[in-house]
Structure 1
Amino acid sequence: MRRVADIIMDILVENGITDCFAVVGGGAMHLNNALALNDNINKYFNHHEQACSMAASSYAYISGKPAAVIVTSGPGATNAITGVMGAWQDGLPMIVISGQVRYETTAKACDLPLRYRGIQEFDIIGSVQNMTKYAKMIIDPLSIKHELQKAIDISFSGRRGPVWLDIPLNVQSSIIEEDELYSIAAEEKIVLPGISDIEVKELFELIKNAERPCFLAGTGLRMSNTVEQFVKFAEISGVPVIGAALAADVMYREHPNYFGLSGFIGPRTGNFILQNADLIVSFGSSLGFKTTGFAQNQFAPKSRVVAIDVDEFEMQKPGLNIYKFIHSDLSIFFEKIENKSKPFNIDEKWLDYCNMLKNKFTPFEAMKNITDDERVCSYNFWKKFEEYEPSDSISALGNNTGCSSKLQIGTRKENQRIVTSPNCGSMGLDLPAAIGAAIASKKDVFCVTGEGSIMMNLQELQTIVHYKLPVKLVIFSNDGYAAIRQTSKNFFNGVYVGCTPDSGISFPDFEKLASVFDSPYHRCNCNGELDESLEWLCNQNGFAILEIMQKLDDPVTPKVMSRMNADGTFSTPALQDMAPFLDKEEIDKLMLW
């Protein structure tokens, strides 16, 4: 006879889930106790449930496997939602288990349209069904093995994502015979879609016959743990590779086949290549607006687009013009072509064109005319940072204009990683993401964020201190929310609201804050102090804080800029027409069509 809560922990361990992020609470009392008694699960207790789910997302991105998140009922469960939404949109596995009041005291049990009945009760499953792959309240204790195993299998298969089980106290505490537990039936086993031999042949023929082919590398390559196979295929084929928008660490700038990122924040090289290709083979990209731009009818207008993805619905979005969709899990795709890959005779003129663009345009174009004595340009920070960061560094990014520039630049070397939430883009991701990455990697993590973003989960500084995590924190300070200031300038004649001290929001003295957490602190006031400041940061053992006094006007450059029309609607140019705008004659010369 065993308690259900203890069985839950054993099932997690059996599935290789050995790390858990949690905030304890009465509604999860038996889950918490079982967690404490299980020596095979590493426990990390955050100071907010949002931090738990965000840390679990980062953990999954770095480790390639899910972590568990255990929270209590009511507000404990609702607090975790934003991180779960991020994992849902980014395709990251996560196992969320929430406590719940005794089932007989829930509104669900009495079948009335009550808002709540139990103390700290909330129907969390109703709220998370649209951001999870599977969500269910467990009512029958004997179903726990079946339901938890099913949830884990679903989370880690196909397009990965979070799952959520809500477990009432009376189920957590139930003592049952293990041999009476329900198991998963054979017909419930998950079958993943794969590419056929005919589709392989057709794809290879398309690449062979193309004059200007390119591969578009999406974040799905990371989520499916197939980056290594993709890079090998790209190297053998000789086809130029472009990173999809915000797929910042799928490939690296020093790779000869790689020509940088693309999309709404470019940079220019990748966008010109996409717009001039006659064949684009997309691997694991959802081809959303961030990659195609809002003017989707102008995205690669004369190219055949072949999309390989496990999610068939992404390619059915209105506005996309997909020549051929291959519905396949990327791991199955690469297994299928492993012994069939071959070099393609890529036209030298096309390769010369791609290399010309790579030499002509730089992701650091915003650094023109900067001086040593002015506040720090974020692009200058990242360029200097590359001189000091390890060859296998991990950068966990918050939501700040200084972080957006990194998502244009990408990584320089093969084993460098960037952790962010490219689709959700939540403020407050920074510290939890650094925590998850540090726990998953067991090495130093650079957490780079802005003063606005870090305030959203500032309490997690104590989590870093408590667990002695090797996080080196960089805070860009720019007197508010720089992106909102820029939006106000562009669209509302500079009328600020809630984005500067004068318009309603302010920030603490981070030097004083560092002393509260017993952290070494250093301030970089200008571009001329970057070398000294970065050397100081990299020489610190363990947690340290570097504050960067960022330029107040430090926009993401270049960028596809929308314009507001007189009637309040928006118009957006094609990807090659980025601000600051090039002369029309120059753009025309660079367009091959």
Structure 2
Amino acid sequence: MHLVDSLGKNKKLKYITNLNEQAVSISVESYAEATNNIAVGLVTTGPGGTNSITGVAAGWVDFIPMLMISGQVKRADMIGNSGVRQKGFQEIDIISLVKPITKYAVTVMNPEDIRYHLEKAVYLAKSGRPGPVWIDIPLDVQAAIIDEKNLKGFIPSEEKKNNNLEIAIEKVIELIKKSKRPVILAGNGIRLGNAEELFQSVIRKLNIPVLLTWKVIDFLDENDPLNFGRPGAIASRYANFIQQKSDLFISIGARLDTGQTAYNHKNFAPNAKKVIVDIDINEINKLNMDIELKIEANAYDFLEILNKKIQNITFEKKEKWINFCSELKNKYPIILEEYYKEKDFVNPYVLIDILSQKLTEKDAVIPGSSGICSEITMQSFKVKKGQRVYNNEGFGSMGFGLPASIAGTIALNRRTVCITGDGGIQMNIQELETLRRLNLNLKCFVLDNNGYGSIVNTQNNYFKGNYVGSNEESGLTLPSMEKLSKAYNLKFYEIKNNDYLIKYIDEILEYNGPVICNVKIPETFTTMPRTKSKVENEKIITLPMEDLWTYLDREEFNKIMSF
């Protein structure tokens, strides 16, 4: 009550009203990712808090600085140590629920402590490895009269310096000098550490191939001579070849999750000496592979020292290696000419290819966080330097695309394209009203495969087509996007095939206001190339990530691997 009332009275603050608390937390996560700064969400007690957990969990696994503030029943109505499950109406112990997915979570029981808790929460959200924090404020604490001048503040302790960092970096430089096939993998720790300029300086000086995780897809232009793609379980074929053929692999600020390593640590860059730089030693120690150097450091600190040390060093040019990488990049494009020959549906790769051509360096692209809307966009979108492209891949929840792109459009103040699924958009369909109300320059492309395509493909691949809750024949139905768009008074297009897409794409992108565009795609469309798993002795085994499906001719494959 009192928090909301104060928000309405404070003219310095601008608030955005969502229609569901899950959309609030997703929007907060997205806004923080767009700005690389803390964002704040405000929700009510009980179900308001529990509805918000999904977005907070997403921020936790992707290290996003976000502050959630929840209302709580007055202190006299809290369960405390009574042993009962609830005393106050809508009461729930939200702090116990969110502690595992926050860096700091507290109920403010003393009004005089509010400054301390807020300052501590904001500091922890942004420092070290960023992440969500949560402040829970009982109703009577909200209403308390306080003297702002006499409130106790939070004083952070001094951060420990890594005295061995310079020694480790000297070793990295020697490894680079001796290597014949080095490669750098850039991760989101570079952005979180505000070290992108340093990163650009370092790679230009070293002049060795750079690979990008999906979180930093927008660090390099598609045609940058050092950009050699995004490796992983779903990837560009050339990026995986380059990674797997390297003799020195340097990862900076990438947590190397299962999607990045293709569930196969033992075969990850098998011939390379590995240097892993991460602010969290636990992220390095989780890797079941030989590591030459484990460097626990903030990406900024690592790159700052490295940048200084290499300025007066002349490195041997790796021309043979660079040329080999360039040949692979030219030989194995993700988007093939044959994809344009589809007549009955839109091939999703054609959609991404055309958007890559049409969007300018001032635009943003924010796909959903799971399924082909995420996979194909992050795998194949051709970035122009200056564009902002991101999603929350770690948590992979359906329903992220719409509220995340709304928040991103507001944060970035630029034309934004959202690519989501016909199933995923239903998870937060109410935010179409938020989109209409704010009249944002957001173009939402809904990939319509008449069901849950990823689940359909899984049930085809591993369960002999035993469909369960994944399409119309197995008990799942989805409403008409055209009727929903009309109900929310939003401009609607339906793209039935590649020809329709080419005909209407300019009109859609140039429309002055929000657009919902339903894109008809095949019901069983599969992302490729990608790693493929097989069932062997009743176990699912992932094949090596250099050997992506669809498979190359063995003679051609072996020739590349023999370089």
Give the TM-score of the pair, scaled to structure 1: 0.91
Residue in 1 aligned with 2:561? 591
What residue identity is the alignment partner of 2:468?
Answer: V
Q: Is the contact between residue 339 and residue 350 of structure 2 (CA under 8 Å) also seen in structure 1?
A: no
Of the candidates 515, 520, 533, which is equivalent to residue 504 of structure 2? 533
Q: Identify which of 383, 386, 390 aligns with 2:356.
A: 386
Q: Which residue of structure 2 aligns with residue 212 of structure 1?
A: 181
The alpha-carbon distance between structure 1 residues 289 and 372, as it changes in their structure 2 partners (threshold 3 A), is closer
Q: For 2:150 and 2:445, how far apart are their aligned partners in 1?
A: 53
Question: One-letter code of the match for 1:382?
Answer: I
Sort the Cα spacing of 1:589 and 1:488 in 2 relative to 1 into closer, same or farther, 3 A. Answer: same
What corresponds to 2:302 in structure 1? 333
2:149 corresponds to which of 164, 176, 179? 179
* Paired amino acid for 2:235: G
- After superposition, the C-alpha distances for 1:371-403 in whole angstroms (9 at most, x for unaligned) are 252201111111111221122211111133143
**For 2:67, which of 95, 105, 110 is the aligned residue?**
95
Matching of residue 377 in structure 1 with residue 347 in structure 2 = yes
1:317 aligns to 2:289 (yes or no): no
1: CA distance, partners of 2:210 / 2:424: 32
Give the structure 2 partner of residue 225 of structure 1: 194
Q: Which amino acid aligns with 2:522?
A: K
User: Match for 2:428 among 457, 469, 472?
Assistant: 457
What is the Cα deviation at residue 564 of structure 1?
1.8
How far apart in 2 are the matches of 1:346 and 1:522? 51
**CA–CA distance in 2 between the matches of 1:229 and 1:582?**
38
Q: How does 1:164-563 map to 2 (within 5 A)?
A: 164-185=134-155, 188-190=157-159, 196-244=165-213, 247-342=216-311, 344-365=315-336, 368=338, 370-398=340-368, 399-563=370-534
> Is the contact made by 2:343 and 2:498 (CA closer than 8 Å) also made in structure 1?
yes
Q: 1:246 to 1:407 in 2, by over 3 A?
A: farther
Secondary structure of 2:440's counterpart equals coil
Aligned counterpart, 1:3: none
- Alignment pair present for 1:577 and 2:547: yes
Distance 1:369 1:99 in 2: 52
Corresponding position of 1:50: 22
| Corresponding residue for residue 112 of structure 1 | 82
Equivalents in 1 of 2:193, 2:382: separation in Å? Answer: 20
Q: Residues 297 and 234 (structure 1 numbering): CA distance in 2 closer, same or farther, change over 3 Å?
A: same
Moved over 4 A (4+): 189-195
The worse-fitting range, judged by mean Cα deviation, of 190-199 and 351-360 is: 190-199
Give the CA deviation at 1:412: 2.4
Please state whether the residue corresponding to 2:86 is helix, strand or coil.
coil
Residues 339 and 349 in structure 2, CA contact (< 8 A), matched pair in contact too: no
Greater shift, 464-473 or 262-271, is seen at 464-473
Question: Residues 295 and 360 of structure 1: is their aligned pair in 2 closer, same or farther, counting only changes over 3 Å?
Answer: same
Q: Distance in 2 between matches of 1:285 and 1:205?
A: 22
2:57 to 65, 75, 85: 85
Moved more, 169-178 or 194-203: 194-203
Distance in structure 2 (CA, Å) of the matches to 1:572 and 1:476: 28
Q: Distance in 2 between matches of 1:194 and 1:64?
A: 28
Q: Tell me how far 1:583 sits from its aligned partner.
A: 2.8
The letter for the 1-side match of 2:109 is: I
Percent identity reads: 33
- Report the 3-state secondary structure (helix = DSSP H, G, I; strand = E; otherwise coil) of the residue aligned with 1:43: coil
User: What SS does structure 1 have at the residue aligned with 2:15?
Assistant: strand
8 A contact 1:97–1:166 mirrored in 2: yes
Q: Is the 8 A contact 1:195 1:326 kept in 2?
A: no
State the secondary structure of the residue aligned to 1:76: helix
- Say if 1:212 and 1:278, in contact at 8 Å, map to a contact too: yes
Structure-to-structure mapping, 1:121-160, within 5 angstroms: 121-160=91-130
- Give a deviation string over 1:50-101, Cα, whole Å, max 9, x none: 1111111111111111111111110000000000011111111001111111
8 A Cα contact 2:234 2:530, kept in partner? yes
The CA deviation at 1:584 is 2.9
How far apart are residue 185 of structure 1 and its match?
A: 3.5
Q: Give ranges in structure 2 of 5+ residues lacking alignment.
A: none
Letter paired with 2:66: M
Q: Is the 2:214–2:390 contact (alpha carbons within 8 Å) kept by the matching residues of 1?
A: no
Answer yes or no: is the 8 Å Cα contact 1:520–1:545 preserved in 2.
yes
Instruction: Return closer, same or farther for 1:533/1:341 CA change in 2, 3 Å cut-off.
Output: farther
C-alpha separation between the residues in 1 aligned to 2:372 and 2:155? 50
* Distance apart, 1:151 and its partner CA: 0.6
Distance in 1 between the 2:408 and 2:163 partners? Answer: 31
User: How many residues are treated as equivalent by the alignment?
Assistant: 560
Change (3 A) 1:435 1:580: same
Judge conservation of contact 1:245–1:264 (CA < 8 Å) in 2.
Answer: no
CA RMSD of aligned residues (A): 1.7
Answer with 443-452 or 341-350: which moved more: 341-350
Q: 1:327 to 1:369 in 2, by over 3 A?
A: closer
